[in-house]
Amino acid sequence: MMLKRLSSWLPYLAVMMIGTCLYWPVMTGLFFLKNDAAVAYFPVRLQMSEAIHQGIIPFWSPYINYGYPLHADFSSGFWNPVVWLCISLFHYRFYTLHLEWMMYVWMGGWGMFRLGKALHFSDAVACAVATAYLGSGYWLGSAEWMNWISPLAWLPWLLALGLLLFRHQRLSHALWLAIVLWCYLSNAHPDQIIWLMYFTAISLLAGWIAYRKSWQQHIPNHAAARHLIKLLLIAALCTGLLLAGS
């Protein structure tokens, strides 16, 4: 039993190693992230980290525009759980910025593997899909913009959980969907949020068409559809509560 559980984690370890090899210069600091990553995101995270280690919650920056509310700016990363993990565990440095960037890579690869398994792919095919996702030009083309990279890490998880919610209408799937959606929105560029709204509308319509007949075969009178709508509303409500502070 223990060996079986360990073997189930091997594909995730493989995806992590593949992502590390693909971006080895970033992981090791051979090449440093430049432009916006260095002059915009890094100074704010550095200040937040130093404030945290001094016992201060960094709602406010006195060094930007004679005072700037970090909690009111999504691009600051104030509401991003990955940022909080990095600034709390470490005194933020350039290597920590690279570690944060790599964490998005790993999360994106794991999410794409999970999506592949939700689509009933084999482990080998799911790993290949995850590798293709990590190796796409978007990661390098948008490497300097952390609030473009962060949503990319959570997008496959959103797709996987949305698919599971359509197939198996469980409260746990709805709650996890809310948490992942909060992670997506917590440091997303407005373009990413607007895109997600359009994509969500299209996905709901496509899911309704794809699963309507199977619902009617198992549960008549559209009870399954009503239950799905209820779970989606719960997910939306929980996401709104998580985002209330921002």
pLDDT (tens digit per residue) in 140-150: 888 888 888 88
pLDDT above 70 for 220:
no
What's the mean pLDDT when you consider all of the chain?
83
By percentage, how much of the chain surpasses pLDDT 70?
89
Q: What is the mean pLDDT of residues 176-201?
A: 84
User: Residue 156's pLDDT is what?
Assistant: 92
pLDDT above 60 for 21:
yes
By three-state DSSP, how is residue 60 classified?
strand
Residues 136, 125: Cα–Cα separation, whole Å? 17
The DSSP bridge partners found for residue 61 are: 68
User: Residue 17's pLDDT is what?
Assistant: 92
pLDDT above 80 for 212:
no
pLDDT above 90 for 107:
yes
User: Residue 101's pLDDT is what?
Assistant: 92
Q: How confident is the model at residue 64 (pLDDT cuts 50, 70, 90)?
A: confident
Could you tell me which residues come within 8 angstroms of residue 112 by beta carbon, excluding any fewer than 6 positions away? 15, 126, 129, 130, 133, 134, 156
Domain boundaries defined on the chain: 145-246
> CB-based burial of residue 227 (10 Å sphere; 0-12 exposed, 13-18 middle, 19+ buried)?
middle
pLDDT above 60 for 217:
no
User: Residue 168's pLDDT is what?
Assistant: 80
Closest of 167, 81, 82 to residue 117, by C-alpha: 167
**69 φ, ψ to 5°?**
-80, 100
User: Residue 112's pLDDT is what?
Assistant: 92
Q: What share of the chain is helix, strand, coil (3-state, %, to 5)?
A: 75, 0, 20
Could you tell me which residues come within 8 angstroms of residue 12 by beta carbon, excluding any fewer than 6 positions away? 110, 113
